[in-house]
Structure 1
Amino acid sequence: MTSSSTGLTAPFALARFTADGLAGSAGLPAETGGRPSLGLVVGSRIRPLTERELGAPDLNSFLAQGPEAWTRLASLADEQQGDGAGWLDLDDVTLTAPVEPRQVLQTGANYRTHVIDLVVAGRQKTDPRPVEELREWAAEMMDTRAREGIPYFFIGLPACVVGDDVELVLPAYSDQHDWELELTVVIGKPAFQIDREHAMEHVAGFTIANDITTRDLVFRQDMKEIGTDWYRAKNAPGFLPVGPFLVPASAVADPGALHLRLDLNGDTMQDATTSDLLFDIPALIAGASQNMPLLPGDLLLTGSPAGNGAKWGRLLRDGDVMVASIEGLGTQTVRCVSEQNR
């Protein structure tokens, strides 16, 4: 089933939601204390899950169980979606971030075309070679990196993870806040020092992330030798909208061939496929697991394709609306408001 309003095409998914005015009905707790409920999504409807149905005390414990846990939910979706009992329309609830990660790992410079564009743009002013020659040189460099190099990781703060129900507040300390649509891996079984051949066994599912970046804070100006400052550039409140769905890995036939698209106020800015990844998902998981164990529910962002605001010379402003979609995973809508107008 497909929900036209959410873009979800998977047979089922997980989501976290609130339903003001519906507490005590449709299986929702009478008193939730403002906490989101975990729900099973089929098409355009959602059904709250009990701990017994989930087979675990919380989401991350569920994800740690591996594929058999998702099989139980698939059976529940098949058995109960027809009778309508306990199901709510997605339009009647508010979806929030479908994950509760303990760790967030981000991947930089991982889309071949994007990195080639950046390399060429950075050398054009001082390099006498024609642009096409520069592009060939940069492409050869990227192909060598993919064969012989390793992924580039840095870490984000789980506190920045929100759903698209939260407005993106653009901090007043800069006017250079940018978007970065990314396919995001959600870890299932713990992964530590694994090889790429076994990496996908540790994937619980996939979701959408928009990794907001403040461009003028990426590189330190006070001591350029220090390099990048990802803490200040990426970790403001709400700078990592995620969701709205957590889609099981079994429902994504080929995560290496998914279409990604981000529209800003109706204009397409990013339009790519994950086939352009320099390091594929098994390589990313294997590489990231060498330093620290990846835990159930952790997020691994796979990088952002070409088409960020820095390319277009157009950064985020008050009132902007970003609509991001990844094939099969749904649609995320984020509204921006300047800190001054909040």
Structure 2
Amino acid sequence: MNSGSPSAAFAGPFALGTLSTPDGPAFPALVTPDSQVLDLRVAFAEERLTTRRLLDRWETALPRLRTLAGTSGLARKPLADFRVHAPVEPRQVFQSGANYRQHVIDLHVAHRDPADERSEEERRAEAAEIMDRRAAEGLPYVFTGLPSAVTGPYDDVVLPAWAEKPDWELELAVVIGRPAHRVSAGEALTYVAGYTIANDLTDRAAVFRRDMPRIGTDWLRGKNAPGFTPLGPWIVPAESLAEPDDLRITLRLNGETMQDESTKDMIFDVARLVAYVSRTARLLPGDLVLTGSPAGNGMHWGRLLRDGDVMDGSITGLGAQRTHCVAERS
């Protein structure tokens, strides 16, 4: 029912999704690895239940979900009968930039001063030292995104007519499970309900304001067009992932691998990112913290998105998404 084929390949005994039939509203679902679906409105006897409402009471909902996943005889249906939506409608989206060591080193070397006559090896060594110092003493770079940019993991991505350089950025997305404000890195992971996949699309031409170069970046224009954040397919509970800081992120464009890196290359890990965001903002259940994208974006390859492209993104234990790019029609 989507442009891609829904898959239930994920870690653990169950995951959460948001599904619908052609003639019905979206509903929260428990999905099992054998591609079976349990309507959680029925299981929880709440007609207006949503995934975010489950996350609002995650500490009590999680044990019940474990029980449901292990209970036989419940009325389940095949996943293929449903459309898969973004797994949650977040109230807030926080996006991390320049958070992959190798990616930032590549950028440092690529954007060298023309007067710098040092070898590439020397410049890489300098960049690596800067990254090590940043990891030890620096702070993450985080900005806010719009929930309205979120779309489903198999939905078409419309490339706006004004977008000159649309690019991909596959990322691990953290889903918050209880309110968090001014929490430490040591306790930050206890506020995480689970993880999902996000493709944080960016129009590179719109990121820097040409009319106001001293102002800097324009993330509203660069990242927040409708559908510029394909999300999902599933929220996999944190307890099902042994190590979120060592997951493989892979993006293929028309079958060709463009990004292929482990989250262990992150400069600031999940715990430090969540803690940092919480120093300023009050994180709420269902909020997303995107953790940055590794090397291999379109600008690196000199090949940006265009009409007809197909992006396949996957992260270890979280499943896979497939999105088709469609040029905006006038």
* Same topology, TM > 0.5: yes
Other structure's SS at 1:325 match: strand
Match of 2:56 in 1: 64
For 2:273, which of 262, 284, 293 is the aligned residue?
284
Q: Summarize deviations over 1:21-73 as a string: whole Å, max 9, x none.
A: 6xxxxxxxxxx4xx311110001111111266288943223213344421210
For 1:231, which of 201, 220, 237 is the aligned residue?
220
The answer on whether the counterparts of 2:11 and 2:240 sit within 8 Å (CA) in structure 1 is no
For 1:137, which of 126, 135, 139 is the aligned residue?
126
Match of 1:294 in 2: 283
Match of 1:25 in 2: none
Q: Summarize deviations over 1:122-164 as a string: whole Å, max 9, x none.
A: 1063421100110000000011011111100000000111102
- Structure 2 Cα separation of the partners of residues 54 and 316 of structure 1: 44
Instruction: Give the Å deviation of 1:74.
Output: 1.0
Q: When the two structures are superposed, what TM-score results if normalisation uses the length of structure 2? A: 0.94
Tell me which amino acid in the other structure corresponds to 1:180: E
Aligned residues: 324
**Runs (4+) of structure 1 moved beyond 4 Å?**
54-57
Residues 6 and 72 of structure 1: CA distance in aligned 2, closer, same or farther (over 3 Å) = closer
- Structure 2 Cα separation of the partners of residues 256 and 333 of structure 1: 23
Q: Summarize deviations over 1:160-194 as a string: whole Å, max 9, x none.
A: 11102421000111331000000000001100011
1:88-167 equivalences under 5 Å are: 88-123=77-112, 125-167=114-156
Other structure's SS at 1:225 match: coil
Tell me which amino acid in the other structure corresponds to 2:21: A
Q: Summarize deviations over 1:103-130 as a string: whole Å, max 9, x none.
A: 0000000000000001110106342110
Match of 1:198 in 2: 187
Match of 1:211 in 2: 200
Tell me which amino acid in the other structure corresponds to 1:18: S
- Structure 2 Cα separation of the partners of residues 303 and 209 of structure 1: 10
- Structure 1 Cα separation of the partners of residues 10 and 45 of structure 2: 21
Match of 1:7 in 2: 9
> Does residue 1:273 correspond to 2:265, yes or no?
no
- Structure 2 Cα separation of the partners of residues 46 and 232 of structure 1: 38
Q: When the two structures are superposed, what TM-score results if normalisation uses the length of structure 1? A: 0.91
Match of 1:40 in 2: 30
Q: Summarize deviations over 1:269-313 as a string: whole Å, max 9, x none.
A: 000000000001110011000111000000000000000000000
Tell me which amino acid in the other structure corresponds to 1:93: F
CA RMSD of aligned residues (A): 1.8
Tell me which amino acid in the other structure corresponds to 2:56: A
Residues 60 and 138 of structure 1: CA distance in aligned 2, closer, same or farther (over 3 Å) = same
- Structure 2 Cα separation of the partners of residues 20 and 232 of structure 1: 33
Other structure's SS at 1:257 match: coil
1:306-321 equivalences under 5 Å are: 306-321=295-310
Residues 51 and 102 of structure 1: CA distance in aligned 2, closer, same or farther (over 3 Å) = farther
Q: Summarize deviations over 1:174-219 as a string: whole Å, max 9, x none.
A: 3310000000000011000111111011001100000000001111
Unaligned 5+ runs, structure 1: 22-31
Match of 1:49 in 2: 40
Tell me which amino acid in the other structure corresponds to 2:134: R
% identical aligned pairs: 51
The answer on whether the counterparts of 2:183 and 2:279 sit within 8 Å (CA) in structure 1 is yes
